Amino acid sequence: MKRTIIILILSLVGITSAQAFQDKNVETGKDVLKLMQNQYKDTWYKHLTFTQETIFYGAGERIERTQTWYEAMSLPGKLAIKFDDKASGNGILFNDGVQHGYANGMKIQEMNRVHDMLVLGFDVYHQSVDKTAEQLETYGYDLSKVYVDEWQGRSVYVVGVDKPDSTKAQFWIDQERLVYVRSLTIGRQNTIQEVRFNKYQKIGEAWIAPEVVILINGMKGLEERYTEIDTPDTLNPLIFDPASFVEADWDPAD
């Protein structure tokens, strides 16, 4: 009798999960992006700042060094990172699909690059579904494929594959919260880079993951821990201008 009851409960759980998937009419990854955009398009923060403890790992997951990064976002498409100090001449700027690198107050790099973590974690709520889809497809995500799985005890949409397959690019979206929690991409020599957005917490009517972990072939390579998280109404636009990135004042009110 107990065995019968257990089987019945498991069957009902399976049906509920399947119905949740079907009721939302999710057949493609683009459908998942639509759900995300619709859920938070009016409530997701426009600007974000935080201090990041950046931990670099070497062989055997031994900590090699740590560094403080200061980060600011203006969504969609803009992420500024200063190393060690907000007034530093060293950092990286992502501005509408272009990555700029700075060292000792000089720009040393300019290359086309869409930051997929920025797109999946933040930009998706502030730009069209078509633009998000186009950007993600450049990373090799097959948006025609999606299935439902479980991650850290929660139901997720897995976009990019239609069944478990760690050899192909995919991103994982929490089915209830509609936030990005995990992705796998394939790099040089078939290395697998895994990104995890962990420990989500509410921030207004939206969310933030104050811990990000990056693994290479299953081994921890980088960990990010966020503190001093803020969602200001405005930010100095010069922070995100490649020509003024080095000199821009990050604390104009101080």
What burial class does residue 180 get, using C-beta atoms within 10 Å of its C-beta: 0-12 exposed, 13-18 middle, 19+ buried? buried
Q: Residue type for 52, please?
A: Q
Q: Map out the domains of the chain with their CATH numbers.
A: 27-240 (2.50.20.10)
Structure tokens at 59: 């062989």
94 and 254 in contact (C-beta within 8 Å)? no
Contacts 24+ apart (CB under 8 A), 164-170: 166/192, 167/192, 168/140, 168/142, 169/139, 169/140, 169/141, 169/142, 170/141
pLDDT by residue (tens digit) across 153-182? 999 999 999 999 999 999 999 999 999 999
- What local confidence, expressed as pLDDT, does residue 188 receive? 84
- What local confidence, expressed as pLDDT, does residue 25 receive? 78
Alpha helices in the chain (DSSP H): 2-23, 29-40, 116-121, 129-137
156 and 181 in contact (C-beta within 8 Å)? yes
Distances (CA, A) of 165 to 140, 157, 225: 14, 14, 29
Q: What is the pLDDT along the chain (254 residues), one digit of tens a residue?
A: 444 433 333 343 443 444 344 445 799 999 999 999 999 999 999 999 999 999 999 999 999 999 999 999 999 999 999 999 999 999 999 999 999 999 999 999 999 999 999 999 999 999 999 999 999 999 999 999 999 999 999 999 999 999 999 999 999 999 999 999 999 999 888 899 999 999 999 999 999 999 999 999 999 999 999 999 999 999 999 999 999 999 999 986 54
Name the one residue in this structure whose structure tokens are 């990135």: 245
- What local confidence, expressed as pLDDT, does residue 24 receive? 56
